[in-house]
Amino acid sequence: MFHMAHSYGVSDLGLIAAILLEKGRLVSVDRSCPRVEFLFEDTPVLRDVIRRYWSNELTCPAQSLLLSFKQAKHILHDYSA
């Protein structure tokens, strides 16, 4: 993960799915590095989702998370910036 002004980069697909589920705003997808980075608008809500995800406190319906994971994979393979 990296932090740029007003955006937050994430490469972990599970975290990306959780952020999408929690309605994080995707700004761009950076393919310039060997590992693709999803760039989200950096907000206090985003930081809270990240904190809850890594501390295993984020709870969500399993089917919804699976759909967000599929959405993340679709973006990963089809997104053009």
Angle between helices 62-78 and 13-21 (to 10 degrees): 110
In this predicted structure, what is the pLDDT of residue 37?
A: 93
pLDDT at residue 32 tops 90 = no
Provide the domain count of the chain.
Answer: 1
Range of the domain at 42: 2-78
Helix-strand-coil split of the chain, %, nearest 5 = 45, 20, 35
Q: Is pLDDT larger for residue 15 or for residue 75? A: 15
Q: How many angstroms separate the CA atoms of 65 and 19, rounded?
A: 10
Q: Percentage of the chain surpassing pLDDT 90? A: 74
Name residue, tokens 């295993």.
Answer: 56
Q: Are 76 and 36 in contact (CB under 8 A)?
A: yes
In this predicted structure, what is the pLDDT of residue 67?
A: 94
* pLDDT (tens digit per residue) in 40-59: 999 999 999 999 999 999 99
